[in-house]
């Protein structure tokens, strides 16, 4: 009930925001600026993290916060290449199972503790410990065996099997390095007041209201991807929680806050024209937003029906109408900013109702009932789509559009609106034909998580499966596992190209749009940038002029 | 000789009052137990999977060990009746448990979030009373036209849905005119719009009820006698009429506080305010049982306490009731 009301309220507020954006005048052009020290930047986010330690659970809001107060072992540049950060350099054994990291010796955490090899060990052990309940960071280093510390500044990490994506995932804020003594206090205390070595430190968290950071005055170990060295420019960073999109946007447009995240789609056009505001928009790497087609039951156990469904969905048309022409459709199984992503497979996902009709006829769905839906052996061609309440009104409208175009080729698409935990339950039991999902990560190894048989759900894990398509293909499994055994770039590229080809030609997902980070920035804030591993905002280089 | 008699008279008077409070507390405890039970089963019988919901959202990749550990930690591996008895047992010992979605003690979550909600509810009740009293005093029986205008305004105000009013106030005074901040973040200016969103419909309702009994009161002989003693119109209305007419409004206030806490959920969401309403909404969506029950109990408790307080207030305002009970 309350979710229904919130949804209605949200829609109404979105309309009002649209009106308000139209009424707002345009401001003056901005002068070029040099960084100014001091001041407070107010950042407003839509979702509050449930824990400030990014190792625990592991949802996107946590990594946004973690990026401000932690450093990572390695950095990743905009081309996806791995560089130094807390580790100066490293060597990898020939069998790909032993990583020897040589660490910086001048780094301290904001509680005064020294960063050293023991800290690396404590962090990796913490992530892999089931008591931490780490599902994202822990999921990414399931291959982890142990860390040895031969001397103060050398950490030797042993893996159970070769894992060429290891350095890539280490560059994500989800695996940010925290002070060992802080981790030792226990999960719930560390959630509230974590300690890192980053440019800011967490000083206060008023739940449902704000998180306050202060500058780390001793900071002098910024990654090579940063725009400056030394302490951050800002004195303070206030991270406000404003879930309601129109309120968040109005707070930005009125200058009450300096930066907002998740700028509402209906406000983007107006914001782009508003001289007081700039937009900072970047896709996130990984598997784009999509609906996974369940190959484990009819009708999508038939590849012809899967292709017909993909071909009958006019994605760009739906995106244009729902997102006011601001979103482009996904280029393939990997979003364009993912290392080794290929644009070659977008044509597989083109809207082609003629081909869809032909395929359905071939597959025996040649008759239609009174409503125009196709039937076979007295059964209607029905597609049950799970829509979780967390997916938001825009994605729901997008599916209503897809429903309409798919109906023209004879699919009866049933949209089933569910609360989050019910959605998870249906998903765990494979009770769906299509289910919305996405996966943000900075490595092409995401294909293994989303499509390999390894992730169909292990015994005793309550039916959880990251591979929501049910796809089980030995040739594909071999390709993605082979790609983990080599660190040679050319070989990895070739293998991931094969992997993308197999996925695209099996029609496993209806791809919609790449996940993206969409910031609105008021004229008072400068130097805000998005880091490349997950397109997370970095406020280290930012300054304010008020 | 006279002193003991006086004391026993006092005791006689106080005894029914004490008995009333005891009875109310006892029935309040039963209401609390019932509310915890209904919430427990309603949430548990909803299909769903609270474990994955907590372990990092839809793009989480927990290992089987992590999942098993979480299931054991939240006690979800026990049979349903056992979970229920364990939970009620903990509640009876005053332990609200730990919220597994917030990684915090439920009591800590409530302690942090109840302030903004009570503050909002309290200020809405106060403003509603202020507005309704002003409207009644200023317009009731002040000539046909004025009276009709007041009455019509009250009816309109009472008919406004609170969340709709919230959106309109936000659009006009925060987004458009920018007189108030869009986000209600605790400052005085930020309180104005959410308070009005809750208070205006309630004020209309209270005023309608008060107006009716106020007009009845003005027809009473004691008003005539007050006027004959030479009291001015303002004093007659304020001191005699209103005191008489406030009773139905006061008893409505207990109901109003309960419904305001319910509507505070919407207003907290619309204005992005912290508070119990938003906590409850999130707790239900991830099936965070301890937190949902904790917040439900607090809301129930506020309701129970408010209706007790109103019963007592009634006695203060209308001395006749004291006499009746002795």
* Alpha carbon of A245: minimum distance to chain B alpha carbons (Å): 9
Distance, CA of A178 to CA of A110 (rounded, Å): 10
Q: Using one digit for the tens of pLDDT, what is the confidence trace for A314-354?
A: 999 999 999 988 999 999 999 999 999 999 999 999 999 99
Comparing A274-288, A391-405, B3-17, which segment has the lowest mean pLDDT? B3-17
Q: Which residues pair with A83 in a beta bridge?
A: A75
Quick check: A422 and B109 CB within 8 A? no
Q: Name the residue among B51, B57, B266 with its Cβ closest to that of A5.
A: B266
Name every residue whose Cβ is closer than 8 Å to that of residue A117 and which is 6 or more positions away in sequence. Answer: A101, A103, A147, A149, A150, A151, A152, A153, A154, A155
Quick check: B101 and A50 CB within 8 A? yes
Give me the helices (H) in A136-192, please: 137-140, 166-170, 180-183, 187-192
- Residue A278, pLDDT above cutoff 70: yes
Q: Using one digit for the tens of pLDDT, what is the confidence trace for A375-432?
A: 999 999 999 999 988 787 888 999 999 999 999 999 999 999 987 778 878 888 899 9
Confidence category of residue B322, pLDDT binned at 50, 70, 90: low
Distance, CA of A32 to CA of B255 (rounded, Å): 59
Mean pLDDT of chain B: 82
Confidence category of residue A25, pLDDT binned at 50, 70, 90: very low
- Residue B172, pLDDT above cutoff 50: yes
Q: Which residue has the higher pLDDT, A458 or A33?
A: A33
Cβ A85 vs Cβ A139: under 8 Å: no
Structural domains in chain B, sorted by start:
21-95 (no CATH), 105-324 (1.10.3720.10)
Structural domains in chain A, sorted by start:
40-283+517-544 (3.40.190.10), 286-514 (3.10.105.10)
Mean pLDDT of B14-42: 84
B137: exposed, middle or buried (Cβ count in 10 Å: 0-12, 13-18, 19+): middle
Mean pLDDT of A155-174: 96
- Residue B313, pLDDT above cutoff 80: no
**B239: nearest Cα among B226, B250, B228:** B226
Tell me which chain A residue has its CA closest to the CA of residue B109: A207
Comparing A81-90, A206-215, B102-111, which segment has the lowest mean pLDDT? B102-111
* Alpha carbon of A271: minimum distance to chain B alpha carbons (Å): 14
Contacts with B278 from chain A: Cβ below 8 Å: 208, 243
* Alpha carbon of A429: minimum distance to chain B alpha carbons (Å): 11
Contacts with B60 from chain A: Cβ below 8 Å: 57-59, 135-136, 139
Q: What is the pLDDT of residue A40?
A: 97
Quick check: A206 and B185 CB within 8 A? no
Mean pLDDT of B11-23: 72
* Alpha carbon of A31: minimum distance to chain B alpha carbons (Å): 26
Phi, psi of A42 (to 5 degrees): -105, 120
Mutate: best of A27, A464, A534, partner B, most B CBs <10 A: A464
Contacts with A210 from chain B: Cβ below 8 Å: 185
- Residue A465, pLDDT above cutoff 60: yes
User: Per 3-state DSSP, what percentage of chain B is helix, strand, and coil (rounded to 5)?
Assistant: 80, 0, 20
Confidence category of residue B107, pLDDT binned at 50, 70, 90: very high
Percent of chain B with pLDDT over 70: 87
Contacts with A7 from chain B: Cβ below 8 Å: none
Quick check: A256 and B181 CB within 8 A? yes
Q: Using one digit for the tens of pLDDT, what is the confidence trace for B52-81?
A: 666 655 556 667 777 777 777 777 788 888
Q: What is the pLDDT of residue A16?
A: 47
Confidence category of residue B303, pLDDT binned at 50, 70, 90: confident
Quick check: B61 and A206 CB within 8 A? no
Mean pLDDT of A164-173: 96
* Alpha carbon of A29: minimum distance to chain B alpha carbons (Å): 22
Tell me which chain B residue has its CA closest to the CA of residue A243: B272
Contacts with B58 from chain A: Cβ below 8 Å: 388, 390, 424, 437-438
Q: What is the pLDDT of residue B243?
A: 78
Q: Which residues pair with A281 in a beta bridge?
A: A518
* Alpha carbon of B163: minimum distance to chain A alpha carbons (Å): 7
| Stretch (H or E) spanning A418 | strand A412-418
Mean pLDDT of chain A: 91
Tell me which chain A residue has its CA closest to the CA of residue B167: A13
Mean pLDDT of A102-109: 98
Tell me which chain B residue has its CA closest to the CA of residue A389: B285
Mean pLDDT of B10-19: 67
Q: Name the residue among B53, B54, B68 with its Cβ closest to that of A460.
A: B68
* Alpha carbon of B316: minimum distance to chain A alpha carbons (Å): 38
* Alpha carbon of A373: minimum distance to chain B alpha carbons (Å): 30
Comparing A370-384, A504-518, B139-153, which segment has the lowest mean pLDDT? B139-153
Quick check: B286 and A256 CB within 8 A? no
Q: What is the pLDDT of residue B321?
A: 61
Comparing A145-154, B116-125, B235-244, which segment has the lowest mean pLDDT? B235-244
Cβ A27 vs Cβ A274: under 8 Å: yes
Contacts with A426 from chain B: Cβ below 8 Å: 47
Q: Which DSSP category does A25 fall into?
A: P
Q: What is the dihedral of CA A424, A430, A436, A440, to 10 degrees?
A: 70
Phi, psi of A439 (to 5 degrees): -145, 110
Percent of chain B with pLDDT over 90: 16
Confidence category of residue B1, pLDDT binned at 50, 70, 90: very low
Distance, CA of A221 to CA of B239 (rounded, Å): 73
- Residue B124, pLDDT above cutoff 80: yes
Q: What is the pLDDT of residue A439?
A: 92
ipTM at complex level:
0.78
Q: Using one digit for the tens of pLDDT, what is the confidence trace for A468-488?
A: 999 999 999 999 999 999 989
Confidence category of residue B11, pLDDT binned at 50, 70, 90: low
Contacts with B269 from chain A: Cβ below 8 Å: 6, 9, 243-244
| Stretch (H or E) spanning A71 | none
Confidence category of residue B326, pLDDT binned at 50, 70, 90: very low
Mean pLDDT of A218-243: 96
Q: What is the pLDDT of residue B77?
A: 80
- Residue A136, pLDDT above cutoff 80: yes
Quick check: A420 and B103 CB within 8 A? no
Q: What is the pLDDT of residue B48?
A: 67
- Residue A282, pLDDT above cutoff 80: yes
Quick check: A420 and B68 CB within 8 A? no
């Amino acid at each position: 009930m309350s979710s229904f009301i919130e949804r209605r309220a949200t829609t109404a507020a979105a309309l009002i925001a649209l009106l308000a954006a139209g009424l707002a005048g345009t401001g003056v052009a901005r002068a070029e600026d040099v960084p100014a020290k001091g001041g407070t930047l107010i950042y407003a986010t839509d979702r509050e993290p449930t824990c400030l330690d990014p190792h625990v659970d592991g949802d996107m809001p946590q990594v946004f916060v973690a990026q401000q107060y932690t450093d990572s072992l390695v950095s990743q540049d905009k081309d996806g290449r791995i560089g130094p950060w807390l580790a100066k350099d490293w060597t990898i054994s020939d069998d790909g199972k032993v990583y020897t990291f040589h660490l910086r010796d001048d780094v301290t955490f904001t509680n005064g503790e020294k960063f050293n090899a023991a800290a690396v060990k404590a962090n990796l052990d913490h992530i892999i410990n089931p008591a931490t309940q780490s599902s994202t960071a822990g999921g990414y280093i399931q291959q982890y065996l142990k860390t040895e510390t031969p001397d103060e500044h050398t950490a030797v990490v042993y893996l159970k099997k070769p894992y060429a994506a290891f350095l890539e995932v280490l560059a994500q804020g989800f695996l940010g390095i925290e002070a060992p003594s802080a981790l030792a206090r226990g999960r719930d205390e560390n959630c509230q007041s974590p300690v890192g070595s980053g440019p800011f430190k967490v000083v206060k968290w008023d739940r449902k209201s704000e998180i306050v950071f202060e500058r780390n005055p001793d900071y002098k170990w910024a990654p090579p991807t940063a725009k400056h060295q030394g302490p951050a420019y800002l004195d303070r960073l206030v991270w406000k929680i404003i879930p309601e999109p129109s309120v968040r946007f109005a707070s930005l447009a009125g200058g009450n806050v300096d930066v907002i995240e998740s700028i509402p789609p209906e406000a983007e056009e107006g914001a782009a024209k508003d001289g007081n505001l700039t937009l900072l928009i970047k896709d996130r790497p990984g598997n784009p937003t999509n609906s996974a087609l369940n190959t484990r039951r009819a009708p999508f156990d038939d590849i012809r029906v899967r292709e017909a469904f993909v071909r009958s969905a006019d994605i760009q048309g739906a995106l244009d109408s729902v997102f006011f022409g601001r979103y482009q459709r996904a280029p393939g199984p990997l979003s364009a900013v993912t290392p080794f992503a290929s644009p070659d497979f977008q044509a597989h996902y083109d809207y082609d109702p003629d081909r869809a009709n032909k395929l359905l006829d071939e597959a025996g769905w040649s008759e239609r009932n009174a409503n125009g839906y196709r039937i076979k052996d007295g059964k209607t061609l029905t597609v049950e789509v799970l829509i979780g309440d967390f997916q938001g009104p825009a994605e729901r409208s997008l599916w209503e559009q897809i429903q309409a175009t798919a109906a023209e080729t004879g699919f009866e698409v049933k949209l089933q609106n569910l609360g989050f935990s019910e959605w998870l339950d249906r998903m765990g039991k494979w009770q769906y034909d299509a289910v919305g999902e996405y996966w943000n990560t900075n490595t092409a190894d995401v294909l293994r998580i989303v499509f390999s048989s390894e992730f169909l759900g292990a015994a005793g894990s309550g039916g959880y499966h990251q591979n929501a398509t049910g796809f089980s293909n030995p040739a594909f499994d071999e390709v993605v596992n082979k790609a983990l055994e080599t660190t040679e770039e050319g070989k990895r590229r070739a293998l991931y190209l094969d992997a993308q080809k197999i996925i695209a030609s099996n029609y496993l997902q209806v791809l919609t749009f790449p996940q993206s980070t969409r910031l609105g920035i008021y004229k008072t804030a400068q130097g805000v940038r998005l880091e490349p591993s997950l397109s997370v905002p970095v406020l280290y280089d930012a300054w304010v002029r008020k | 000789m006279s002193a003991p008699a006086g004391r026993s008279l006092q005791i006689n008077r106080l005894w029914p009052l004490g008995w009333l409070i005891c009875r109310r507390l006892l029935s309040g405890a039963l209401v609390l137990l019932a509310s915890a039970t209904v919430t427990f089963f309603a949430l548990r019988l909803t299909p769903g999977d609270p474990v994955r919901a907590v372990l990092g959202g839809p793009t989480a990749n927990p290992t089987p060990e992590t999942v098993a550990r979480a299931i054991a930690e939240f006690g979800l591996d026990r049979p349903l009746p056992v979970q229920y008895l364990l939970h009620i047992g903990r509640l009876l010992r005053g332990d609200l448990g730990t919220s597994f979605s917030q990684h915090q003690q439920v009591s800590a979550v409530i302690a942090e979030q109840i302030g903004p909600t009570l503050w909002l509810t309290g200020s809405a009740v106060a403003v509603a009373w202020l507005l309704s009293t002003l409207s009644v005093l200023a317009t009731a029986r002040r000539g046909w036209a004025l009276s009709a205008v007041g009455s019509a305004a009250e009816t309109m105000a009472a008919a406004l849905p609170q969340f709709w009013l919230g959106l309109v106030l936000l659009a006009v005074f925060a987004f458009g005119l920018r007189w108030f901040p869009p986000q209600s973040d605790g400052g005085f200016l930020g309180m104005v719009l959410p308070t009005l969103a809750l208070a205006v419909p309630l004020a209309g309702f209270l005023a309608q009820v008060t107006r009716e009994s106020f007009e009845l009161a003005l027809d009473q002989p004691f008003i005539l006698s007050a006027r004959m003693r030479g009291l001015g119109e303002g004093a007659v209305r304020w001191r005699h009429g209103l005191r008489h007419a406030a009773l139905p409004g006061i008893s409505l206030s207990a109901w109003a506080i309960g419904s305001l806490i319910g509507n505070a959920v919407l207003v907290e969401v619309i204005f992005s305010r912290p508070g119990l309403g938003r906590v409850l909404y999130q707790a239900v969506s991830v099936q965070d049982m301890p937190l949902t029950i904790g917040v439900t109990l607090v809301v129930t408790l506020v309701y129970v306490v408010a209706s007790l307080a109103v019963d007592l207030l009634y006695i203060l305002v209308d001395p006749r009731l004291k006499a009746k009970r002795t």
